[in-house]
Amino acid sequence: MNTQPITRALISVYYKDNLEPIIHELGKAGVEFVSTGGTQQFIESLGYKVTPVETLTGYPSIFGGRVKTLHPAVFGGILFRREDEGDRGQAKEFKINPIDLVLVDLYPFEETVSMSAGESEIIEKIDIGGVSLIRAAAKNFKDVLIVSSRKHYAELLTLLQAKKVSTDLSDRKRFAAMAFEVTSHYDTAIFHYFNQEQRIPAFKASYSQGITLRYGENPHQQGVYYGKLHDLFEQLNGKELSYNNLVDIDAALDLVREFYDEAAFVIIKHTNACGVATGETVKEAYEKAFRADTLSAFGGVLATNQCVDMAAAEAMNSLFFEILIAPDYDANALELLRLKKNRIILLQKQPLIRGKQVKTLLNGVIEQDYDWKTDELSDLKVVTKREPSPTEINAMLFASKICKHSKSNTIILAVDGQLLASGVGQTSRVDALKQAIEKARAFGFSLDHAVMASDAFFPFPDCVEIAHQYNIKAVIQPGGSIKDKDSIAYCDEHDMAMVFTGYRHFKH
Residue pLDDT, tens place only, 334-375: 999 999 999 999 999 999 888 889 999 999 999 999 999 999
The crossing angle, in degrees rounded to 10, of helices 462-469 and 484-493 is 20
Position 261 scores a pLDDT of: 87
Query: How many other C-beta atoms lie within 10 A of the C-beta of residue 367?
Result: 13
192 given a catalytic annotation: no
For residue 414, pLDDT over 80 is answered with: yes
pLDDT exceeds cutoff 90 at 44: yes
Secondary structure percentages of the chain, helix, strand, coil, to 5: 40, 20, 40
Closest CA relative to residue 477, chosen from 463, 496, 458? 458
Is residue 68 predicted with pLDDT exceeding 90? no
Instruction: Report the distance separating Cα 350 and Cα 179, nearest Å.
Output: 31
Instruction: Tell me the average pLDDT across 409-415.
Output: 97
Mean pLDDT of all residues in the chain?
A: 95
Q: Residue 432 and residue 407: Cα distance in Å, rounded? A: 10
Average pLDDT over residues 21-36: 96
Catalytically annotated residue among 163, 270, 373, 434: 270
Instruction: Give the CA dihedral 236, 242, 247, 249, nearest 10 degrees.
Output: -10
Q: Is the dihedral of CA 442, 443, 446, 450 positive or negative?
A: negative
Told to judge if 16 belongs to the known catalytic residues of this protein, a careful annotator would answer no
Mean pLDDT lowest among 201-205, 301-305, 430-434:
201-205
Phi-psi region of 77 (alpha: psi -120 to 50; beta: other; left: phi over 0): alpha
pLDDT of 209 strictly over 90: no
What is the secondary structure of 420-448 as a DSSP string? EEEE-S-SSHHHHHHHHHHHHHHTT---T
Inform me whether the pLDDT recorded for 69 exceeds 90.
no
User: pLDDT class for 65, splitting at 50, 70, 90?
Assistant: confident
Cα gap 97→329, rounded to integer Å: 62
In this prediction, residues 461-484 reach a mean pLDDT of 97
Q: What is the rounded distance in angstroms from the CA atom of residue 411 to the CA atom of residue 118?
A: 48
Output the pLDDT for position 248. Answer: 97
Catalytic residue among 139, 340, 434, 494: 139
Tens of pLDDT, residues 109-147: 999 999 989 999 999 999 999 999 999 999 999 999 999
Q: What is the mean pLDDT of residues 449-459?
A: 96
R_g over Cα of the chain: 31
Q: Does the structure show a pLDDT above 80 at 70? A: yes
Residue 186 reports pLDDT greater than 70: yes
Q: For residue 1, is pLDDT > 80? A: no
Percent over 70 (pLDDT), the chain: 100
Flag whether pLDDT at 452 surpasses 70.
Answer: yes
Considering the entire predicted model, what is its pTM?
0.87
Q: 161 φ, ψ to 5°? A: -70, -40
